[in-house]
Chains A and B, each alone.
Chain A
Amino acid sequence: MSTASATTLGHLPNRAPAQFLRARRRAAVVLIVIATLIAASFWSLNLQWANFFSASSMGRMTKFLGELLTPSREATFLAKLAIASLETLAMSALGTMLAALGGLVLALPASQSPGVESSLARAPVRLILNVLRSIPELVWAALLLISAGLGPFAGTLALAMHTAGVLGRLFAEAIENAPTAPAFALRVQGVPPGRVFLYATLPQVLPQIISYSLYRWENNIRAAAVLGVVGAGGLGQMLAFHMGLFHMKEASSVLIAMMLLVSLVDFLSYLTRRLMAR
């Protein structure tokens, strides 16, 4: 062999260099922290595994599962199911639409176009958007129920509030990332900011806005389906009602209706986005 063989190596390293060991130590620390967090979680929760795996629990689960596999098909029940489905669908669609409008209104002050000094309102509006989106739909629903009473109205508004926060932030980012030339040209001519937005920025970001809204609709149909559990109407309310009475067969039909509805909305959303892209 033409190159030096192993036996002539004077400085054969049998240990890793310091940098490697440091990296390994850091990784080990991170892993230990995560493991501690997980262990602490399990321990502090005092989970009732015995309860879950007990004979009676397992027996109940099997009974539930059995009933869940035989959905009810009784006529009057199915009629109510259809109405509830329409209610849920309407909740999700209307809620998303309101959220898109609200989000757009809030996105304008919340966005900062490069070259334009941000408005004073930017920070507070961003805070509002954050609060809106931090609070989950269900919590909003529970709050709004107090003022608006039971029923889908509270659910629609809850969806609208939460989604407005989400969409508002997405819209603001889209506005900030839009090419600035058209808006700049108008601003330089002295056009007031509102009209600059309508004529220059909005047409550019409109496809993205519609796309984001359609995506959120897909999410919102799932949320709307379960909002009823706290009393906001629709399929969720039916589900909570029947589960409370252990009517697993009816609950099963409701679940199937939920899944069908979700698939429908996913499909419609996909179709609309495809149509728009053409």
Chain B
Amino acid sequence: MTNLAALAPPRRDPAFHERLSWALLALVLLIPSLYATDFKPWVFFTPENLRVTARFIGDFFPPKLEVEFLTMVAREAWRTVAIATAGIALALVFAAPLALASTAILSVSSLPGRMHAIPFAARQAVRLLLIFLRSIPELVWALVFVRVVGLGATAGVLAIALTYSGMLGKVYGDILESGNLHSTTSLLRNGASRLQAFFYGLLPENAGELTSYTIYRWECAIRSSAVLGFVGAGGLGQQMELSMKMFNGSEVSTMLIAFVLLVWLADHVSLQLRKMIA
């Protein structure tokens, strides 16, 4: 005869304790965070700040639409795109050979089995270089370069080139290694040279994904380029920073709108191009 009492479900919610613990943990972490970040929303509502904010936001409408100013904004918007494009172009130049050097696919010495020691070490070194390049925020590079070459677009282009070469290089390597290797291996086994195997095997197999990612990164670079402008690396960002320092709401408003439009346009173009490739 079964003991029905023993089969009865627990009277208390078994998950409650665990959920409670998680919630308490979150709270325990939350309070010091509020303190550490100096979280004081009421600061927005002090009379002084309210006045400044109100005037600044008030200046947003209407946005400044004088022709001369708009021409400047258009020119700076183009410069932002140009900085991004030049930066990505340079990044590609570095990333492509680095990516090839970091993959094991084109390794002739590993065709029969394990790679020889020296090529292996060389490949790992290249990988580390790529990781290093992409973990330093581009803003930091920009800060350094601004002090070396001065304010302006050069610092921005170099900063983007360095950071993005790491990003592109690493992802290119990942794409190449995770694609279909059969055709490439077959070419290498039949005596083709490494670069020949790349152009006749690896590249056709992965061209779609590689191009798609590059276009996506170009779009990101446009956003980066605007941000870098804030530390003096040229383009729309630099102008925005100047206007903000002068509390000129209407100028900032126009530039913000221009920036949002620019990002939207780049997003659109990027999407269309990537659809064309697929």
Contacts and interface: CB of A to CB of B under 8 A. Distances in A.
Direct contact of A and B (CB under 8 A): yes
Interface of A: 37-38, 40-42, 44-49, 51-52, 57, 60-61, 64, 86-87, 89-91, 93-94, 97, 130-131, 134-136, 138-139, 142-143, 146-149, 151-153, 155-156, 222, 225-226, 229-230, 233, 236, 239-240, 243, 246, 255, 258-259, 262
A222 B136 CA distance: 9
A89 B30 CA distance: 12
A91 B240 CA distance: 24
A52 B140 contact: no
Interface stretch (B33-41, B115-123, B176-184): B33-41
B247 interface: yes
9 contacts: A38-B86, A52-B149, A60-B147, A60-B148, A87-B36, A89-B36, A136-B226, A139-B240, A239-B143
A153 B227 CA distance: 20
A153 B40 contact: yes
How many chain B residues sit at the interface, stated as a range, is 35 or more
A57 B37 contact: no
Contact of B30 (A97, A139, A229): A97
B137 A45 contact: no
Contacts of A87: 36-37
B137 A156 contact: no
Given A47-B157, A222-B137, A146 B244 contact: yes
Nearest to B146: A243
A103 B93 CA distance: 39
A121 B263 CA distance: 23
Interface stretch (B49-57, B64-72, B99-107): B49-57
Q: Which 5 A-B residue pairs are closest in the complex by CB-CB distance?
A: A41-B82, A90-B36, A90-B33, A41-B85, A147-B53
Contacts of B252: 143
Contacts of A94: 30, 33-34, 37, 39
B167 to A, nearest CB: 12
Contacts of A52: 145, 148-149, 154, 158
A37 B269 CA distance: 14
Interface string B184-220: 0000000000000000000000000000000000000
A139 B36 CA distance: 22
B137 A86 contact: no
Contacts of B149: 48, 51-52, 57
B183 to A, nearest CB: 21
B56 A255 contact: no
Contacts of A47: 86, 153-154, 157
Given A136-B223, A259-B135, A45 B36 contact: no
B147 A38 contact: no
A233 B263 CA distance: 27
A139 B143 contact: no
B32 interface: yes
Contacts of A259: 135-136
Q: Which of B137, B144, B154, B231 has the most CB of A within 10 A?
A: B137
Contacts of B274: none
Contacts of B136: 255, 259
Nearest to A58: B148
A87 B36 CA distance: 5
Contacts of A152: 36-38
B153 A147 contact: no
Contacts of A131: 260
Contact of B56 (A51, A86, A147): A147
Nearest to A147: B53
A139 B263 contact: no
A106 B145 CA distance: 40
A139 B226 contact: yes
Interface string B231-255: 1001001001100100100001000
